[in-house]
């Protein structure tokens, strides 16, 4: 999201719900409410975006695709 969607945008809510589920499955939260809080803080701080870039790089992915989207939508 990286600042591209408003806090009350439905896309933001979908990302938070999906992220919270992953955080719970990953053992970083015991309940959905806390998972949502962790997800929101990670997105707002930019940590989630930095992690995405690191995962793309570590997996041999092409960062230029992400950079194209940044230019197009940013």
- CA–CA distance, 69 with 37 (Å, rounded to integer): 26
Do 35 and 16 meet the contact criterion of CB atoms below 8 Å apart?
no
Report pLDDT digits (tens) over 39-60. Answer: 999 999 999 999 999 999 999 9
Report pLDDT digits (tens) over 10-28. Answer: 999 999 999 999 999 999 9
pLDDT confidence of residue 42: 95
pLDDT at 1 over 90: no
The length of the chain in residues reads 74
């Amino acid at each position: 999201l990286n600042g591209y969607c408003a806090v009350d945008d439905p896309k933001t809510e979908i990302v938070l719900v999906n992220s919270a589920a992953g955080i719970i499955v990953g053992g970083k939260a015991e309940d959905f409410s806390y998972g949502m809080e962790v997800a929101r803080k990670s997105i707002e701080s930019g940590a989630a975006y930095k992690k995405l870039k690191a995962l793309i790089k570590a997996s041999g992915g092409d960062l230029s695709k992400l950079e194209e989207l940044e230019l197009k939508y940013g």
